[in-house]
Each structure stands twice: as C-alpha cells, then as structure tokens.
Amino acid sequence: MEQGYVVLDFDYRGSAGFGRDYRTDIYRSMGMSDVDGAVAAVDWLAREHGVDPTRVGMYGVSYGGFFTLMSLFRYPGVFAAGVSNDGVTDWAHYSDGWTSRILNLPTEDEEAYRISSPIYHAEGLADPLLLVHGIVDGNVHFQDAARLVQRLLELEKNFDVMYYPLEAHNFDHFHGRFDYYRRIADLFRRELLER
C-alpha cells in the first residue's frame, strides 16, 4: 500500500465460513462463479474506491494460483497482469480425495474437469502472466506447471515462467522467496504502476 497499490484480499467462492451456498457454488465448475466474483470485484473497486480498472493485477498460491490462471484465461483484458504460484492447471492430475467432492471422479465426470481446468482455457491468455512453481512441490506437482507451459508454447502465447529447484508448495528458502517477491514486484510495478 505504501507503494501506491490498493490491495483486496478476495475470499473466493468455495471458501469455508460463508455458508453452505457459498461453499458449494463451485460444484462441477471450479473457476466459474468464483472467478466471476473476482471480475465483479474489479468493478466494485473502480466504483467504490476509484481504482483504475485497467491497472488491476492478481496473484495467488495453490488454489489462488489456479484462480489467477482461470481469471486471466477466461477474462482477457480485465486483469493487467497475474502471477500464479503452484497453481493447479489440470484438476484430473490433483488429489482426487479433495477434488472428487467438488468435481466427482475424472472418469465419471470429464466435463466438470474440462470446465474447471485452466489448461483447457489457455487460449484466452492475452495479458502478462508469470507462472511460478517449486520443482519439489508434493501437493501440486511440478509436471502440472510443465504441461501448462507446453500448452502455452503450442498456443504461441507470451508469458514468463520461473521454476525453483529447492522449493516445495510453500517457499521455505530465503533465496527462492526473495526472488519470487522481487519478480512479483517488478511485474506489478511495470504493468500496474508505470504503464
């Protein structure tokens, strides 16, 4: 905030603590109504707080990284830049114990996984994206990020990527954390403040 940013910490749909309907609204469609809420938040920030809607960025870790990908892919031009850290790119490759409660099993509900997985929406990328992933991530496996990178290359999209050899799902090493936050700061300064 001291550098001129307005910060909104967004509790996306599917989060606990807001009632059953809020929590279950993403059934069979993660990245749909929850991302629609983020788009509505941009309008709210502009209307209620005078934020320039052309200078809104997004970043997140894990589900927040997935959320960032879906936001940029589904709504090109709404977010000026995004950073996805350890984000799920294909729910069919994630822990089915957690995911199956929301999307059913991949073998039983392929459509829910297609709707909900960023890799199937990657053609929408039009804004600056920094894709970050820890190579030893035991939660969202590195291969998930590598598959998305390959898809973005095939689509001839512009994006930046950074892999961290020593980092797991949470960045625990000083050099990795320092570099990660430096990259976020550089991207947002360039795309949100200086543009």
CATH number listed for the domain at residues 20-193 = 3.40.50.1820
Please say whether the beta carbons of 86 and 135 come within 8 A. Answer: no
Residue 31 pLDDT exceeds 90: no
Domain boundaries, the chain: 20-193
**In whole numbers, what is the pLDDT of the chain averaged over residues?**
90
Q: pLDDT value at position 19? A: 62
Give the whole-angstrom CA distance, residue 94 versus residue 153: 22
Mean pLDDT of the region 43-71: 94
Q: pLDDT value at position 23? A: 60
11-24: pLDDT as tens digits: 665 555 556 565 66
List, by residue number, the catalytic residues: 62, 137, 169
Mean pLDDT of the region 23-33: 75
Helix axes 33-49 and 63-74, enclosed angle (nearest 10): 80
3 state SS of 126? coil
pTM: 0.92
Least confident range of 6-15, 70-79, 117-126: 6-15
Q: Own/partner pairs for 109-115, CB < 8 Å, 24+ apart?
A: 109/28, 111/28, 112/28, 112/29, 115/28, 115/29, 115/31, 115/32
Which residue from 167, 188, 69 is spatially nearest to 121, judged by alpha carbons? 69
Q: What residues are paired with 61 via a beta bridge?
A: 85
